[in-house]
Amino acid sequence: MAIATTVMKRADVPKETTWNSESLFADWDEWQTEFDAVTAEIPALAEFEGKISQSLDHLVKWHEVVEPLYERLFRLGTYAGMSGDVDNSDSIAQGKRGQYSGLAGKFFATVSFAAPELQALGDTLMQWVEEDERLSGYKHHFHNLLRQAKHTRSAEVEEVLGMVGDAFNNVYMTANILATTDLKFASAVDSQSNEHSVQQSTVTPTGIQSQDREHRRAAWENFCDGYLSLINTFASNYITAVKQSVFNARVRGYDSVLHSRLAPFNMPVEVYHNLIDTFQKNLPVWHRFWDVKAKALGVDKLHPYDIWAPTTPNDPVVTYPEAIEMIANGMAPLGTEYVDAMRKGCLEDRWVDYALNENKMQGARSNRAFNSFPFIITSYNDTLMSMSVLAHEIGHSMHFYFADKYQPHQYKSGLGSSVAETASNFDQAMVRAYLLESRADDRDFQLALIDEAIFNFHRYFFQMPNLARLEFEVYERAENGKPLSADILNGIMRDIYAEGYGDTMADDLDRTQTTWAQFLHLYAPFYTFQYSVGISAANALSDRVLIHGGAEDYMNFLKAGGSAYTMDLFNIAGVDMSSPEPIEKAFAVLESFVDRLEELVP
């Protein structure tokens, strides 16, 4: 059976490979009708201004009105966003996405009075929680609101901040369209003089995992060269996003952009520094891997385009239904509540848009819609790697699913990035452990599984912390009035990768320096390092579930949604992320795969 490689036009893909858009809206006409209805109801929210702090009953009524309207607004956004992501050439979807962005800005500007008005109540707000059971579920929510009072501005300023959100969102949209629609790559020519198209795929450019070294070299170089051709445009757009983040942090009185991103979840900035310090200390593990991978491939020196190369010529073909069964078996220790919902969602309810089609967004993502299915977008190509990416996104979606099922409105969302990325990486770790044991006698499968594991670690435990280091330097420069440009961004990236690759990698710095432009994650400041926190916590927790019986604790963690602060949620699951220990353990897991690779390849 051949690996799926055919990239089709969106109109030609089978319906069963697409997301269940009709479960949200039958078509754009129905979407527009709901859009108009929500638009008409937003102005009435302004009538609550000055009243929600007058009495407990007014506050209860406010939540009864604003929460369902927000959920309806969010569903509009999910539909428009997913419709555009599956086909960035769909001009109707792009227009609707713009409509939604404007409406969301109007909504947040209208309700902007609520936070400062409630914060002004101080202790009275918490007294009301104790007095009336209708507010009992808001205890953590109000505590967090009062905790952040010093970063909330007047109602007038909050209104302005709500309005500028629409304009600020355009920098991400520009980067996304630039990368997935306007950016073109020269074809790669393999060692047999065959031409191969180079395109964005789920996590790497097509061709980079080819057995043919000349094919993957050309694919990687042409991919990087495409970014180099537009590097000044990417830089200008990203620097604008950086300045917007600095603006937001300063307006709200945060010490830094890093602080502004973590403080809402009561997460100390020391978690960032702990991660980066431990990562840099353990770089020799990566240096050892570059050497072992070179030996496995039979080359004198590893090059960046060799990192993703398969170590077996017999890469297993894993169809989408087979992938779901692998993931279901891997997650079996969590019980039927998890597995049955996951299997039904992915095989019957069409949570996943896995079609290979032109103009699909870069990467993969899980999307939520309140009181609805969670939705996943990916480009599935029948490989073990794409199965792993799917498992990652299913982890996100099941987190959304359980939060939506077990939590009230105020705790269904607001999941910190570190917590969210723990749920996604956890599924990959569990499935990997299952496959290592169940396919232990299949050498080719074991090699492919090691490739998948280190591929995952490379993305979340090498690329992401390297990008986080870049972010820290970029934001320090921006916050201190120092210049930023394409050359400066490239220079920072070059230096970081030179350290990460060490003497064991034959780097091509002119191309490696474009790595920052290839990751849209940077448009969510300091999201990158939280992947590394997540993969550390996930491996610690999968070990705990498999060896020490921590399945119930982990399920409670998923079901808790955003009902506690990040560090407390980690404690519910059974891991202490204030310590370097989980990060050190994750490096030990990585090194165990390097050991296994060395044993399997003479």
Q: Burial code of 38-53, b = ≥16 C-beta within 10 A, e = fewer?
A: bbeebeebeebeeebb
Give CA–CA dist 311/290, Å, rounded. Answer: 13
Return mean pLDDT, the chain. 94
Could you tell me which residues come within 8 angstroms of residue 285 by beta carbon, excluding any fewer than 6 positions away?
587, 590, 591, 594
Specify whether the CB–CB gap between 427 and 331 falls below 8 A: yes
249 pairs with which residues across the strands? none
Give CA–CA dist 538/575, Å, rounded. Answer: 9
Residue 516 pLDDT > 70: yes
Instruction: Give domain status of residue 283, yes or no.
Output: yes
**483 falls in which pLDDT band (50, 70, 90)?**
very high
Structure tokens at 397: 């979606």
Instruction: Give domain status of residue 126, yes or no.
Output: yes
Shared domain for 159 and 300, answered yes or no, is: no
Shared domain for 163 and 241, answered yes or no, is: no
Instruction: Give domain status of residue 337, yes or no.
Output: no
Which residue, 515, 483, 440, is CA-closest to 203? Answer: 515
Amino acid at the residue 209: Q
Residue 202 pLDDT > 70: no
**3 falls in which pLDDT band (50, 70, 90)?**
low
Shared domain for 165 and 76, answered yes or no, is: yes
Q: Which domain covers residue 150, as residue numbers?
A: 10-172
| Local structure of 87: helix, strand or coil | coil
Give CA–CA dist 308/301, Å, rounded. Answer: 14
pLDDT, tens only, 462-480: 999 999 999 999 999 999 9
pLDDT, tens only, 414-463: 788 899 999 999 999 999 999 999 999 999 999 999 999 999 999 999 99
pLDDT, tens only, 414-425: 788 899 999 999
Could you tell me which residues come within 8 angstroms of residue 404 by beta carbon, excluding any fewer than 6 positions away?
368, 370, 371, 374, 412, 561
Amino acid at the residue 64: E
Shared domain for 122 and 257, answered yes or no, is: no
Domain stop point among 104, 138, 172: 172
Segment 368-392 shows an average pLDDT of 93
Instruction: Give domain status of residue 478, yes or no.
Output: yes
pLDDT recorded at residue 170: 84
Instruction: Give domain status of residue 88, yes or no.
Output: yes
pLDDT recorded at residue 328: 98
Segment 244-271 shows an average pLDDT of 95
Tokens 């939590």 belong to residue: 407
Shared domain for 167 and 237, answered yes or no, is: no
Domain stop point among 125, 144, 172: 172
pLDDT, tens only, 209-226: 899 999 999 999 999 999
Segment 18-36 shows an average pLDDT of 97
Shared domain for 425 and 498, answered yes or no, is: yes
Shared domain for 288 and 165, answered yes or no, is: no
Which residue, 359, 375, 361, 354, is CA-closest to 75? Answer: 375
pLDDT recorded at residue 415: 80
pLDDT recorded at residue 86: 94
pTM above 0.85, yes or no: yes
Instruction: Give domain status of residue 351, yes or no.
Output: no
Number of domains within the chain: 2
Shared domain for 494 and 574, answered yes or no, is: yes
Shared domain for 144 and 251, answered yes or no, is: no
Which CATH number goes with the domain that contains 48? 1.20.140.70
Instruction: Give domain status of residue 401, yes or no.
Output: no
Instruction: Give domain status of residue 60, yes or no.
Output: yes
Structure tokens at 206: 């097509």
pLDDT, tens only, 63-100: 999 999 999 999 999 999 999 999 988 999 999 999 99
**164 falls in which pLDDT band (50, 70, 90)?**
confident
Which CATH number goes with the domain that contains 458? 1.10.1370.20
Which residue, 236, 210, 207, is CA-closest to 224? Answer: 207
Burial of 258 (0-12, 13-18, 19+ CB in 10 A): buried
pLDDT recorded at residue 1: 47
pLDDT recorded at residue 7: 81
Segment 507-515 shows an average pLDDT of 96
How far are the Cα atoms of 385, 413, 414, 534, 596 from residue 403, in angstroms, in the given order? 28, 8, 10, 18, 37
Share above pLDDT 90 across residues of the chain, in percent, rounded to a whole number: 87
Rounded to 5 degrees, φ, ψ at 365 are -160, 150
Segment 584-595 shows an average pLDDT of 96
Shared domain for 236 and 143, answered yes or no, is: no
Domain stop point among 156, 172, 188: 172
**153 falls in which pLDDT band (50, 70, 90)?**
confident
Shared domain for 163 and 286, answered yes or no, is: no
Amino acid at the residue 136: S
pLDDT, tens only, 547-588: 999 999 999 999 999 999 999 999 999 999 999 999 999 999
pLDDT recorded at residue 160: 85
List the single range of 202-206, 233-237, 278-282 with lowest mean pLDDT.
202-206
**207 falls in which pLDDT band (50, 70, 90)?**
confident
What is the chain's Cα-based Rg?
24
pLDDT recorded at residue 199: 84
pLDDT recorded at residue 5: 62
Positive or negative, the CA dihedral 295, 297, 300, 306 is: negative
Largest CA distance in the chain: 77
Could you tell me which residues come within 8 angstroms of residue 457 by beta carbon, excluding any fewer than 6 positions away?
535, 586, 589, 590, 593
Shared domain for 513 and 593, answered yes or no, is: yes
Residue 238 or 7, more confident: 238
